[in-house]
Amino acid sequence: MITKGLSYGWLATRRRLREMVLPAITTATGAFLVVLVFGLSAGIRVQSASLGHAD
Protein backbone atom coordinates (compact mmCIF):
# COMPACT_ATOMS: atom_id res chain seq x y z
CA MET A 1 0.00 0.00 0.00
CA ILE A 2 2.79 2.43 0.90
CA THR A 3 4.64 1.53 -2.29
CA LYS A 4 1.60 2.37 -4.41
CA GLY A 5 1.19 5.67 -2.62
CA LEU A 6 4.84 6.57 -3.08
CA SER A 7 4.80 5.62 -6.75
CA TYR A 8 1.66 7.71 -7.31
CA GLY A 9 3.29 10.67 -5.56
CA TRP A 10 6.43 10.26 -7.66
CA LEU A 11 4.41 10.19 -10.89
CA ALA A 12 2.41 13.24 -9.81
CA THR A 13 5.63 15.08 -9.03
CA ARG A 14 7.09 14.23 -12.41
CA ARG A 15 3.95 15.53 -14.12
CA ARG A 16 4.05 18.82 -12.22
CA LEU A 17 7.80 19.38 -12.37
CA ARG A 18 7.56 22.42 -14.63
CA GLU A 19 5.06 24.06 -12.30
CA MET A 20 7.41 23.64 -9.34
CA VAL A 21 10.50 25.12 -11.01
CA LEU A 22 9.37 28.76 -11.03
CA PRO A 23 8.50 28.94 -7.30
CA ALA A 24 11.86 27.35 -6.46
CA ILE A 25 13.72 29.90 -8.59
CA THR A 26 11.70 32.77 -7.12
CA THR A 27 12.41 31.65 -3.55
CA ALA A 28 16.13 31.21 -4.25
CA THR A 29 16.33 34.64 -5.89
CA GLY A 30 14.57 36.28 -2.96
CA ALA A 31 16.90 34.64 -0.46
CA PHE A 32 19.91 35.73 -2.51
CA LEU A 33 18.69 39.34 -2.57
CA VAL A 34 18.10 39.36 1.20
CA VAL A 35 21.64 38.10 1.82
CA LEU A 36 23.00 40.67 -0.62
CA VAL A 37 21.18 43.57 1.06
CA PHE A 38 22.32 42.54 4.55
CA GLY A 39 25.87 42.12 3.26
CA LEU A 40 25.87 45.61 1.79
CA SER A 41 24.29 47.32 4.81
CA ALA A 42 27.60 47.82 6.64
CA GLY A 43 29.16 49.51 3.62
CA ILE A 44 26.11 51.69 3.16
CA ARG A 45 26.34 52.84 6.80
CA VAL A 46 30.01 53.76 6.35
CA GLN A 47 29.27 55.68 3.18
CA SER A 48 26.35 57.48 4.85
CA ALA A 49 28.58 58.46 7.75
CA SER A 50 31.17 59.88 5.37
CA LEU A 51 28.45 61.99 3.78
CA GLY A 52 27.31 63.32 7.17
CA HIS A 53 24.21 61.17 7.62
CA ALA A 54 25.37 59.08 10.58
CA ASP A 55 22.84 57.84 13.12
Query: pLDDT tens-digit profile of 12-36?
Result: 999 998 888 999 999 999 999 999 9
3-state SS of 1-55 is CHHHHHHHHHHHHHHCHHHHHHHHHHHHHHHHHHHHHHHHHHHHHHHHHHCCCCC
- 54, pLDDT greater than 70: no
User: pLDDT at position 26, please?
Assistant: 95
Query: Which of the four pLDDT bands, split at 50, 70 and 90, describes residue 53?
Result: confident
Note if the pTM is more than 0.95: no
